[in-house]
Structure 1
């Protein structure tokens, strides 16, 4: 009878632990639906509690198994109960691992989405910065071009003023020469004779050149 009482006592512990496990699994499964990017303190605590209670149940089942081995006349119902506890433990381990895996997969997905969003945001920021830098560079280049054009225009006006001043100087010099020639008696006649003599020399030179060309043409 002591063996039977012992089996009943240990089995009562197994049933109590199974009930606690189901309650913890129910609470733990909610984290698979509302997963955060990082493991919260409550999630970590439940994860640890489930793992500990499942390991504890394995020890209880080992005790039940040993009781059955020590009692050669153990009933078939007790063996059947022991088998159901083993199957329930395996099922709870399976559910626990599935929930844990689902939570981790969802957390990985959230972290991946967060990383992609950060990359997109960083890319957009870089694009905006590049666009601003390009606009600033273009603005500087345009300002430099305007400055060069302004300098060229200024130089052109200075050159124009210089030409205008030189033209005035030449015009004044010409007027002074004409005025001087008019005041010197006989200078116009001298200049006229010099011009006539130059025209005569040019005519003579042209005649000689023509004669030489004709001689060369007819003698060849």
Structure 2
């Protein structure tokens, strides 16, 4: 039973490898569910698909080896012993368990991937909405700032106009004060002019009187 021993060892080796690979593959679902990362964007999809292919290939080899063992159990010329038949049946049962376990694990992994993809899409939509909302808020803030600048410019022009009016009013007040001062000094000037005019009239009268007296005295002197 050299063939049996070789196939038996090969089955045990494949079962051990498959069990280790299946355990690692089953962790993919928990890892994806825990991290909730974008499987496609992060490149995780390629890794878990490679693991899935590797596990499926091991299971396929294990199935082929089990088929070869089953063929030995039906050998009429060299029938296997009862212990061999029990070992062959045990390998067949283990293989069937692995088939069911792989199917269940693939379903869990695919569900985790679908959920992660869905959540990633939702997060992307939320991020896009937030980005759009932020852009809208920034644009609105820009318009408000522009309006504020226009109001500030208008107020500044109004303040400058008011200051100019104040300066002009101050200048007009100064001119008005000067004019009032001039007007207040005009009556005094009129009085001075009136006094000068009266003095000239008095001086003219005095000079005329003196001339008249002199002429009278001259005529008296001539007629003596």
Which TM-score applies when normalising by structure 2? 0.53
RMSD: 3.9
Question: Quick check: 1:141 aligned with 2:168?
Answer: yes
State the structure with more CA Rg. Answer: 2
Q: Which runs of 5+ in 1 are unaligned?
A: 23-49, 190-220
**Distance in 1 between residues matched to 2:174 and 2:159, nearest whole Å:** 22
The change in CA–CA distance for 1:5 and 1:103 in structure 2 (over 3 A counts) is farther
Are the counterparts in 2 of residues 61 and 85 from structure 1 also a CA contact under 8 Å?
A: no
Give how far 1:176 is off.
Answer: 1.9
In the other structure, the counterpart of 1:99 is 126
Give how far 1:137 is off.
Answer: 1.8
The change in CA–CA distance for 1:184 and 1:66 in structure 2 (over 3 A counts) is same
In the other structure, the counterpart of 1:162 is 189
| 1:71-115 CA-partner distances (Å, limit 9, x unpaired) | 584969479636545544432432232222123223323333444
In the other structure, the counterpart of 1:64 is 51
Are the counterparts in 2 of residues 21 and 54 from structure 1 also a CA contact under 8 Å?
A: no
Q: Which runs of 5+ in 2 are unaligned?
A: 1-14, 64-98, 217-224
In the other structure, the counterpart of 1:20 is 34
Write the mapping of 1:67-86 to structure 2, written as runs, cut at 5 A. 67=54, 70=57, 73=60, 77=103, 81=107, 84=111, 86=113
**Distance in 2 between residues matched to 1:188 and 1:9, nearest whole Å:** 162
1:185 counterpart SS class: helix
**Distance in 2 between residues matched to 1:54 and 1:3, nearest whole Å:** 30
In the other structure, the counterpart of 1:208 is none
Are the counterparts in 2 of residues 11 and 64 from structure 1 also a CA contact under 8 Å?
A: yes
User: How many residue pairs get matched?
Assistant: 162
